[in-house]
Each structure stands twice: as structure tokens, then as C-alpha cells.
Structure 1
Amino acid sequence: MNLSLLAPATALQPSTLNDVTRSAMQDLLREGESQNTLASYRAALRYWAAWYGLRYGGQIQLPLPVACVLQFVVDHAQRMTAKGLQSELPREIDEALVAGGYKGKIGPMAHTTLVHRISVMSKAHQMRAVPNPCHDAQVRELLSRTRKAYAKRGDLPRKKAALTKDPLQALLETCDDSLRGKRDRALLLFAWASGGRRRSEVASASLQSLRRIGPAEFVYTLAHSKTNQSGRDQPENQKPVLGQAGAALQVWLDASGITEGLIFRRILKGGHLGGAMSGAGVRTIVQARCALAGIEGDFSAHSLRSGFVTEAGRQNVPLADTMALTGHQSIPTVMGYFRAESVILNQGARLLDE
């Protein structure tokens, strides 16, 4: 091929990117990111822009000064004073942020939320290849000391309660023979018994990835997950849906008439089949069934995942087998569930008992 025949207008410069390439890059970056992550990033950046506008009376621009990030931290982190816990966000600005829908309620945000907001702003600077104030030594030290201050006060993140075997059975007993009841029973068992699926994995579960291996027995291929975002083909992608879970899934598919697309759908008024569910919809099902069963506690969709891991620890399922189903890659994370349960079974706690 004669390279000299290429028109000059089509030749690119190797050291720069044109607008078309930059746009294509952004499309790929967005498509490769999870929807939940994108939504959390957008919410965090909207909050930053609203806070900046109210605090400084102008439009936010990157890079931010280091002083601005330090101000964001002290505005939102509580510190102990002679008058008790205080933060520096003015009341009128706090009320305006709530009124504008940027905050859920008046008062300081949780420490985990603060850290997430800083991380998102750091990512925004990184993506734009501009100086990153979040990496400044003052910011890093302030965040480190803030975390320690919260820990000293016992203000630690609270994990959602685990739905182990017995409370899960109580939830299942609330599922009647209506279309909604059949869906909820199949959904709860699918999420729990296949290894504690995340709510996004349940909402996006597709018949295309479901393979029948026997009467009311299936294997679900989880090709994409939080710990396998590149879609690597590996044995751990295969998740069994057997026993009660397989039977409930078969009942749901027969009753709903679903033959392609998403496995779990919304149920409309009148008991009619609707469209796609959201991850929040999975959480709502868990919480609604907990209320019907009279189970008290702070439960969410993640309770199915933590409940599966906790129950596996109770029943002495080998750690490797548990992790193969859950998809966890961190042994300390899984062991945290095991140890939280085993502490009450520790014989050393009963040395004074006969």
C-alpha cells in the first residue's frame, strides 16, 4: 500500500488527540463503568458544584485550590469542641442544599460519604490531568486525623444486618401464590443461594445467561461483576441455582411467561408484569418482606450477601468454596463475616459457666 496516497486531512498527529478521539474515549470510559458508580459520581459532583456555588458565590472550576478542599472537609466533618460536636457548614447553606435536593437531611454527612465525595473530586482532577488538591499533604493529613477522631468517638460505619437461613425462611413464608409473591420468592432465593448476589447483579440478571441442567435446576453465568469488571472467562463465573432456589425460579418463569430478556421484572398495579427493575427495587423487596415477617433490624439488599457468607461460616463451608460462589477476592473481607458470627460461639466466653 502506498502510504503517500493518504490525504493530508486524514492524517493524525501522534502526540495529540483530536475531538473525535476524545469523544470516543469518553464513550468507552462511560460504557465500561457500572451504572451505580456513574450515578454516585454524578451525585457527588452535583453536590460539590452546589456547595461551591453557595459557599463562594461562583461556578466551580478545576483545579480547585487546596484551601477549598480543606474548607469542604471542615464544613462536613464533625469535631469535638467545648460545646459538643460541631461542623462549619452554615445553617442557611445546609438548608439550601437540602431544599435543592443535594442532601437528604440537615446536618453533617456520614464520614463514609465525606470520604467518597473527596475521592470523586480527586478522580475528576485525575481525569482532566490537572493538579490534584486532594493529594496535597495537608488534605491527606486532615482526612487521616478526621478518620481517627471518628474512630475514637466510636462513630464507625455500621454493617447491614445479615439475613441468615432462619430469617430468610421467615421472609419466604410471606411470599404467597400471587405473581408478586412468586417473583419475590424466586428473587430472594436466586440472590441468596447462588452465592449472595449484589442487587445490581440481580436486577440485570438475564435469561441469556441462564442454563438449565435438569428439572428446575439451573446454572447462571455471571460474566460481569464488581470483582470481574473486565468479563474474564473463569470457572467461578458459574453460579448454581438448585434446590429451593431452582424450583422457585421455575415457578416464576412459568407464571410470568418470561422467555427472553431480564429474569426479574417490576409488578404493576393489578398484578401485571412490568419492565426492568432497579437495584433500589431489590432493596425495597428485601425491606418490605422483612416488615411483613416482623423481622426488626437494619436490612437491605446486601443483607442477602452477608447472610449467605455468615451462614456458610456457621455450617463450616470451606472458605474457598464460599468465595467461589460469592466472587470475593479478599480473604479478610470474607473472614470478617465468619469471625463476626463465631465470636458468640467462642467457648472462652463461657469459662464461668458450668
Structure 2
Amino acid sequence: MMPLTLQAALPALDPRMLDTQADAAVRDLMREGSSANTAASYRAAIRYWTAWFELRYGEPFALPLPETAVIQFVVDHAQRSTEHGLKWELPLALDQELVRLKAKGKLGPPSLNTLLQRLSVLSKAHELHGHPNPCRGARMRELVAKTRRAYARRGVAPAKKVALTREPLQALLATCDDSLRGVRDRALLLFAWASGGRRRSEVARATVENTPRTADGFLFSLGQSKTNQAGTTRANDQKPIVGMAAQALDAWLRASGIAQGPLFRRVRRGDVVGEPLAAAALRDIVQERCKLAGLQGDFSAHSLRSGFVTEAGRQNVPLGDTMALTGHASVATVMGYFRAGAAAQSRAARLLDEPDSGPR
């Protein structure tokens, strides 16, 4: 075969590096393929790294960072026990400046969750840009592992949102009156919970078209999700909306007059149905309804998901049936919630309550 010669028409590329146009295209694809919430959290983390690094070292933030700088970041933000109580190394003046620059919301050490998330974002940034990763070094991995252990010994673990199991969910539903907004919120909460604890981005993508009516209620076709980023067709993508959830969704569609497009939308003054709800709106609705119901605790949209799995454990639903609805890819992830729900129902926890019918 004769070799192709296009040099006259196209400039030859160096196969060892991306040209400017290709590099920009990669960034566009990465941005488009990430959820809005993920992209926003990454931007916030990098903004914080940039502000902290430039204030701490007096020079511009640029990748790759040396491992020593990342270690300094950990000790600046992780609390440790001393004879004088808990201590961290971030100077107060620097902390105040970070708040003034709005790189952080308030003074004081971040939660363990926040610290670990910022390290994770920095690690991914290095790997995506092809740099040596300072977060993967043996010293750093040991420091992070021991930091986790230190927090755990103090009774502090990475925070999880409070689960909305059956009883607290019913309390939320009781706050949903017959107003158009109340009808919408009831339908939204039941849709998200009863279909397997849908993520807020998944709820925002629910439409009339991908949630057709069936003889039993509705059938939501999930499509793309956190564990199916490519949106490939899978057997468990069909999520039934039946019973109370179907009745509530039907009531919302009839009251709102929605016949096509997104299911859940804003309700404006005068009961005007507006634009589709953003994913973040689900968090706001959950928190508002929790407040109206008088529930105490740290609730979020994820509380619906964890609540569904925990309740399934309480009611001894087989794990496989639960995962078929939730779409969890990891058994280990779902088992944490599942076992928490099942533990209170375990016979082993109630040995003293059982009648003693054995031989004496």
C-alpha cells in the first residue's frame, strides 16, 4: 500500500503531544461529560487550592505541586490532638484572608469530608494533566490513612447525611398540602424515594417521554447515571413508579397540565408552572420540608437514597432486589446502609426478648 502524503494539505502532528486545538477539545469533552454538580465542586476545590497556595507560599499556583506542599496542606487543615486540645497549623491571618476572598465560608478547620475531597480533586487534576501525582506517594498515603484513623479514634468519621426512612419521609409528605407546590413536592419526594432513591440529577432528567404510563403506574427509564456515564442500555434501567408514588405523580401531572418535557418544574407566584427544576432544587425542597416537619438532623437530597436502602434493610428486602432499583454498582457501598437498617430487626439483637422455650 502506498503511504499517504497529506503534508502539503495538513501540518504533521507530533504523536507524543496534543496540539492546542486537540487539548481544548479534550477539556470540552471532559467538561460536557461531567455533571454540573461535580464540575462545580471541582472548581470550588481548585479555587481553594489556588488561594491557599498563593497565600501560603507567595507564588502562583501551578501543577505539578511538590509533595511537601500537599503535606503542608494536610497539616494546615487536619486537626490533631495535643496536650492543649485540638490543634491545626493554618495561621489565623491566612484563615481570615481565605474567608475574605470567599475561598471558604467561615473561619475554622474544614470537615474531614471537605479535606479528603480537596485532596481527591488535586490528585485527579495531576493525573488528567499527566503530571506525577504528589497525592499517591507513600508518605502522603500513610499520612492520609493515619489522619483518617486519628479522626475515627476521636469519634469523627466522614459525615453521612441522615437517612429519610419510612417514618420521617411520611412526616415530610404530611407537610405537602393541596396547593400546586404541595402537590408537586409530594410527587417529587415519592418519585425520588420509591423508584430506588434516585439521585437529584436523575430526578431533574425525568421527563414525560422517559416516564410513560403503564397499567400499574409509570415506568421511568433511567438512561445515563453516575454509575452509567455513557448512558448504555442496561436491564435494570427501568424503574417502576407504582402505588402512592404513581398516584402522586398522576395528581401532579393533572394539576400542572404538563404533557411533555421535564416532569418537575418551578411553581411561580399565581400557580404558574415555570422552567424545569435544577438538580440543586431537590436538596432545597428536602431541607425545607424537613424544617416544616420539625425534623432534626443534617438532611439533603441524598437522604432519600440512603433512606430507601436503609428502609429496604429494615423490611428484609433481598439485597439484589434493592440494588436493582438503586442502581448501585458496588455491593460494599449499598451494604453500609442496608445493614444499618437490618440491624435493629436482627434476632441476635433481641435475644433477651425471645421467650425461653429451650431445655432447662
TM over 0.5: yes
Displacement over 6 Å in runs of 4+: none
The match for 2:314 is 314
Give the conservation status (yes or no) of the 8 Å contact 2:197–2:305.
Answer: yes
Equivalent positions of 1:261-276 (< 5 A) are 261-276=261-276
Structure 1: distance between partners of 2:4 and 2:158? 63
Gap regions ≥5 residues in structure 2: 356-360
- State the SS of the aligned residue for 1:160: coil
The match for 1:204 is 205
Give the conservation status (yes or no) of the 8 Å contact 2:79–2:86.
Answer: yes
Structure 2: distance between partners of 1:4 and 1:337? 59
Structure 1: distance between partners of 2:169 and 2:23? 49
The residue identity in structure 2 corresponding to 1:176 is D
Structure 2: distance between partners of 1:175 and 1:143? 44
Equivalent positions of 1:146-161 (< 5 A) are 146-161=147-162
Structure 2: distance between partners of 1:108 and 1:177? 44
Aligned-residue offset at 1:3: 7.2
The match for 1:346 is 346
Is it true that 1:169 corresponds to 2:167 in the alignment? Answer: no
Aligned-residue offset at 1:335: 2.2
Aligned-residue offset at 1:4: 5.6
The match for 1:42 is 43
Structure 1: distance between partners of 2:84 and 2:347? 44
Q: 1:81 and 1:45, CA in 2 relative to 1: closer, same or farther beyond 3 A? A: same
Structure 2: distance between partners of 1:11 and 1:237? 46
Structure 2: distance between partners of 1:247 and 1:145? 51
Q: CA RMSD in A?
A: 2.0
The residue identity in structure 2 corresponding to 1:70 is I
Aligned-residue offset at 1:5: 7.1
Is it true that 1:70 corresponds to 2:97 in the alignment? Answer: no
Equivalent positions of 1:237-276 (< 5 A) are 237-276=237-276
Equivalent positions of 1:256-335 (< 5 A) are 256-335=256-335
Aligned-residue offset at 1:249: 1.0
Structure 1: distance between partners of 2:341 and 2:96? 41
The residue identity in structure 1 corresponding to 2:215 is G
Structure 1: distance between partners of 2:233 and 2:225? 12
Aligned-residue offset at 1:295: 2.5
Give the conservation status (yes or no) of the 8 Å contact 2:265–2:276.
Answer: yes
Aligned-residue offset at 1:74: 0.5
- State the SS of the aligned residue for 2:176: coil
* Aligned residue pair count: 353
Equivalent positions of 1:1-80 (< 5 A) are 6=6, 8-13=8-13, 15=15, 16-80=17-81
The residue identity in structure 2 corresponding to 1:293 is A
Give the conservation status (yes or no) of the 8 Å contact 2:312–2:341.
Answer: no
Post-superposition CA distance 1:183-215 (Å, at most 9, x none):
101100100111110112112222231122137
The residue identity in structure 2 corresponding to 1:332 is A
Deviating more after overlay: 231-240 vs 340-349: 340-349
Post-superposition CA distance 1:168-197 (Å, at most 9, x none):
222212111211011101100100111110
Q: 1:292 and 1:21, CA in 2 relative to 1: closer, same or farther beyond 3 A? A: same
The match for 2:193 is 192
The residue identity in structure 1 corresponding to 2:59 is G
Give the conservation status (yes or no) of the 8 Å contact 2:113–2:159.
Answer: no
Structure 1: distance between partners of 2:278 and 2:96? 30
The match for 2:119 is 118
Structure 2: distance between partners of 1:285 and 1:169? 15
The residue identity in structure 1 corresponding to 2:151 is Y
- State the SS of the aligned residue for 2:41: helix
Q: 1:257 and 1:352, CA in 2 relative to 1: closer, same or farther beyond 3 A? A: closer
Structure 2: distance between partners of 1:221 and 1:283? 22
Deviating more after overlay: 260-269 vs 220-229: 260-269
TM-score (normalised: structure 2): 0.92
Q: 1:275 and 1:314, CA in 2 relative to 1: closer, same or farther beyond 3 A? A: same
The match for 1:336 is 336
The alignment-based identity, stated in percent, is 58
The residue identity in structure 1 corresponding to 2:103 is Y
TM-score (normalised: structure 1): 0.93
Q: 1:124 and 1:181, CA in 2 relative to 1: closer, same or farther beyond 3 A? A: same
